[in-house]
Amino acid sequence: MPWRGTRYTQKFAKSCSQPAFFTSNISAANQGEDCLYLNAWIPQGGCRHKHSMVWIGGGFITGDVVSSDPKVIAAFTNTIVFTISYRIGPLGFLYFDHNDAPGNMGLLDQSLAIKWIYDNVKRFGGSKHKITLFGNSAGGASVNYHMLSEFTRPYFQKAIIQSGAADTKSSFHSPSVALFTANAFATQLGCNKASVEEKIECLRSLPASEVSAIQISPIPTPPLFIRAHLPTIDKIGFISKSPAELMKQPLPKHISVMLGVVKDEVSFFMAFYVNLLKIPIDISDGVITRDEYFRFLPLLFVASNATYANIGGNYLRPFLPDEPQSYLDVTIDIGSDIIFKCPVIRVAQALSTVNPDNTVYMFSFEYPALFPPLPQWFGVQHTAENEFIFGTPLIDSINYSDTDRYVSMRMMNYWTSFAKTGNPNFCKDTCNDWNPYDSRDRKYLIIDNDCPQDGQGLRETQCAFLKNALGPGIINNK
């Protein structure tokens, strides 16, 4: 029902119900099921029919829009920026192969919000022909899904994928795995009923906070270790086939794509795994032994002991006959390659091979900011680029340096130039041009200071080795 009169929207709505997963989580008082809202930042003045960017944050288990504030990038680049909320965890992705629990509800929330923006962006001074999706982690995987789904594909023209891919074990479950997960979930909550309808009714009778609480699986499995409800193939048709199959098919429309990763994707997760699983290894100083290095590998992927030895040994080989300066750094490299980098690279390869007319740009964000003050071994951790994309250093003169501000202005210019033209290069830039990615040259941009450098073949050798050692199932989730 449309409302009448003027509605004042000066504060965020509640975040969707979620577990206390990370220390930065939203308090229980600021969570709820009435959470499906979007937010808009509209720069004053400038041209009509502005370009719009739609931010999809992570993740499928926990996350909110409050942590990403686009006011700086909107004002600095004269771009309309929307952020959207969506249901997460079991409330967003529970799958019983039933009309009342069809799976992918969270992605459908996103899709509806994107269509609403498409239909109404003119009222905000934008154009429905100038819409770019961008997202990080599960948000990046979501952008990938919207590219593959005919439900959403008509409602945007460009896509930016940051550290996420639809075709991974942390972004997709086959229907059989999704159904097994749902049944185990219901059993653990005391809803092991005879029929699916009874199970759903029982779950509905429980408080959202109880349904959304973390469930550690009796047999913890990497890379998530908890009982996660993820996107799957659904009867509605939002995801009609596995992402691996869909990526093999040419897209029916031109979508320019920018995508990339950060240098040390899994560093934060290593500390989280140790705490979650109560592993008796002290990594507070960033130092682990060779034996501990090999004990860490099962936290990253499932394989035989022989395969762990093969992969662990191969990643150490460049350092021989000496030991690596840090075994933990090598562990982070392996996890980052398997969980994030190789899947994102595979998306770039598929797009540039199956859709050679589509423009693709790739980046690796490697700039080591000094704020927030994290242990040095964290390096450039997962989502580290977000604060620079959203312009945080420009409004914080205490914690950020001049170089931080230059990097942030560059990132905002790259992201919004791509949104406006399909090309991240911008006028009056004195640094090297950012060259497009193609399946042969595999050029990408290394953003490691205020004047980035060219790269070629990002993790090409490592991803080829991992695919051979682990099979396509680990890297491509087949």
Domain that holds residue 46: 15-249
Q: Rounded CA gap, 174 and 241, in Å?
A: 10
* Domain assignment present for 465: no
Cα–Cα nearest to 437, from 465, 458, 461: 458
Task: Provide the token pair at 264.
Answer: 């040390």
Measured CA to CA, the distance from residue 189 to residue 202 in angstroms comes to 9
101-129 exposure pattern, b = at least 16 Cβ within 10 A, e = fewer:
bbbbbbbbbbbbbbeebbeebeeebbbbe
CB 52 within 8 A of CB 131: yes
Burial 374-409 (b: 16+ CB within 10 A, else e): eeebbbbbbbbbbbbbbbbbbeeeeebeeebbebbb
Residue 55: inside a domain, yes or no? yes
Could you give the CA distance from residue 152 to residue 109 in angstroms, rounded to a whole number?
11
Which pair of tokens denotes residue 438? 């193609």
Q: What pLDDT does 246 receive?
A: 97
Q: Is 347 contained in some domain?
A: no
Quick one: how many helices (H) and strands (E) in the chain?
Answer: 17, 13
CB of 231 closer than 8 Å to CB of 104? yes
Residue at 349 is within a domain: no
Please report the pLDDT score of residue 269 as a whole number.
87
Looking at residue 21, its pLDDT comes to 62
Looking at residue 31, what is its pLDDT?
82
For residue 403, being part of any structural domain is answered with no
Active site residue 256: no
3-state secondary structure of 138: helix
Ranges of residues in the chain with a pLDDT under 70 are 1-2, 21-25, 46, 216-220, 224-225, 472-478
Predicted local confidence at residue 23, as pLDDT: 45
User: Does residue 305 lie in a domain region?
Assistant: no
* Residue carrying the six token digits 């130039």: 417
pLDDT number for residue 274: 84
- The pLDDT tens digits of the residues spanning 462-473 come to 999 999 999 865
Report which of 288, 233, 353, 310 is spatially closest to residue 474, judged by C-alpha positions: 310
pLDDT in tens, 59-98: 898 887 777 899 999 999 999 999 999 999 999 999 999 9
Q: For residue 417, what are the contacts with CB-CB under 8 A and spacing of at least 6?
A: 423, 424, 425, 426
Question: Edge-to-edge strand order for the sheet containing 360-365?
Answer: 38-41, 80-84, 50-56, 126-136, 158-162, 256-262, 360-365, 443-447, 453-456
Contacts of 196 (CB under 8 A, 6+ apart): 96, 97, 98, 101
What's the structural domain count of the chain? Answer: 1
* Count of residues making up the chain: 478
Residue 435 exposed, middle or buried by CB count within 10 Å (0-12, 13-18, 19+) = middle
- DSSP characters for 404-431? HHHHHHHHHHHHHHHHHHS----TT--S
- Strand 50-56 and strand 38-41: pairing? unpaired
* Distance of alpha carbon 165 from alpha carbon 192, whole angstroms: 33
The one catalytic residue in 15, 52, 137, 142 is: 137
Identify the pLDDT of residue 206: 95
Q: In angstroms, rounded to a whole number, what is the distance separating the alpha carbons of residues 28 and 18?
A: 9
The per-residue b/e assignment along 167-196, b for 16 or more CB within 10 angstroms, e otherwise, is bbbbbbbebeebbebbeebbeebebeeeeb
Count Cβ atoms below 10 Å from residue 245 Cβ, excluding itself. 13
pTM value is 0.95
6 part of a folded domain: no
Q: CA-based Rg of the chain, rounded to a whole angstrom? A: 22
CATH number of domain containing 219? 3.40.50.1820
| 245 lies in some domain | yes
In this prediction, what percent of the chain has a pLDDT beyond 90?
A: 73
